[in-house]
A and B are shown apart, each in its own frame.
Chain A
């Protein structure tokens, strides 16, 4: 972690700076990072970027192919669907709902899960074991099934699908966090800090969290990927978005009946889901590897 620059000054980097310098040196992760920023910014400002409203119908231009195919119109770069709605607008809107929804889920799960997981690992006795066995029972049910059951209870809508997905992913995340913290708690530097008279909060802040960044990125990445897949699956099955809220899975399911007439309608949302997942995975894998290298 020592840097010698030309003036022979010794500069000590903090672990975060060191991780960042390793991260910067990897081309593919930096590209993935910019792609992640690009996707997020496009999703946030999708409403202002959209060429047309995603519900605006152009009855005279129906089922247009993308512009590079014969018989296309330059006004609709990615073509139109059976009601003449612009595919690009619908795709961007869909990406907004799916990606931002998944990010929202990841964020809220991480906060809630950290609080619950940390409390659980610092608790002892009956309370802790009741909670663990309750969580273990929840873990046996597949998350998608939990989400579907929850959404039937809440009623079908996009917002409820987000809620259902986050609740279904929460037990896994809590379990993961709990195991990470539990492992750290047995390490000697945490025991030493406890002997210094540190409170639990201080123990978490200085002793534990700086040392669990690596498993934490893996966990968050898994939650994010699962969230994207579950939101789109719920949309595809018709449990999530309605015709107003065109979410990527919903887009695919509506295009399926037209797949022989215009395969592009199902292709583009599929590519979008694929891109989102791969870009975020490369990004988080890059962070994870930098953290591991930084610790060596």
Chain B
């Protein structure tokens, strides 16, 4: 398998004020190194505040790093145009009810990335949108709907369709499974895996639920205080965790089926 994304010595510092006149530099994350291969799933787990969200937001292009470089297909991301970046890396947000514009129809939400990043004609765009809707398992009827008319899992499907409509290489999912109840969570997971099988897309998942992570991912990164403490194949991490933090996470995890 070819290497899709590789991250070299990525660090992010930010300034936090301690008193009125003093401030000090803190690391959101530092010295991050990992690679992602085509068609694989990488999960990033860790406690809150461990820098995992900031890291994936940097990869998605929402934030900038202080040092280090991200390479996509061997090319540094800073050299790519915004369009090329949009086309190959897409992001799914935590709550689709927030990330879909309440005043736009599903059709317009899905057409926006195509309009902005491709030269397709209106008919081709339409075709592409319908194919994508089919891929995520929604009927074309939904194109005229507004996001608040859909159920939460349908909103997730629309958000996924928005990410998939440009046929990206990488999809970054920031804790998308946290807000759903258990059956819908599995529905979404199966959908994600099906899409991966069909399209060969890679995922970077940020997650809390350890058992689901084990099911989905090929590779796991455990982060603590902005550093990678464990970076290995999923089964190796689960069977013989090296760091204390990973053991702690595995022990403290109890499947929560509260919802």
A interface residues with partner B (beta carbon < 8 Å): 1-2, 12, 15, 187-193, 195-198, 202, 206-207, 210-211, 295
Contacts and interface: CB of A to CB of B under 8 A. Distances in A.
B82 interface: yes
B81 to A, nearest CB: 9
B117 A188 contact: no
Contact of A188 (B61, B95, B145): B95
Contact of B99 (A2, A189, A206, A295): A189
B100 A189 contact: yes
B49 interface: no
A189 B109 CA distance: 10
Given A1-B149, A188-B95, A195 B90 contact: yes
A256 B98 CA distance: 57
Interface SS, A side: helix
Given A15-B146, A210-B104, A188 B93 contact: yes
B146 A195 contact: no
A188 B100 CA distance: 8
B80 to A, nearest CB: 12
A187 B101 CA distance: 9
B178 interface: no
Contacts, number: 68
Contact of A207 (B62, B94, B98, B101): B101
Given A195-B62, A195-B90, 13 more contacts: A1-B146, A1-B148, A1-B149, A12-B145, A189-B100, A192-B91, A192-B99, A193-B101, A196-B113, A197-B83, A197-B116, A206-B104, A211-B103
A30 to B, nearest CB: 24
Nearest to A195: B91
Interface in B19-50: none
Interface string B74-114: 00000000110010001101110011111111001000110
Contacts of A207: 101
A28 to B, nearest CB: 27
Contact of A12 (B82, B94, B98, B146): B146
B146 A197 contact: no
A206 B91 contact: no
B221 interface: no
Contacts of B70: none
B172 to A, nearest CB: 10
Nearest to A199: B116
Contacts of A193: 101, 112
A197 B103 contact: no
A211 B99 CA distance: 13
A197 B113 CA distance: 7
B60 interface: yes
B184 interface: no
9 shortest A-B CB distances, which residue pairs?
A: A210-B103, A188-B99, A188-B98, A196-B113, A189-B101, A197-B116, A197-B86, A192-B99, A188-B93
B82 to A, nearest CB: 5
Interface string B150-180: 0000000000001000000000000000000
A207 B112 CA distance: 11
Contact of A196 (B102, B116, B146, B148): B116
B144 interface: yes
Contacts of B162: 192, 196
Contacts of A210: 101, 103-104
A211 B147 CA distance: 14
A198 to B, nearest CB: 6
A192 B109 CA distance: 10
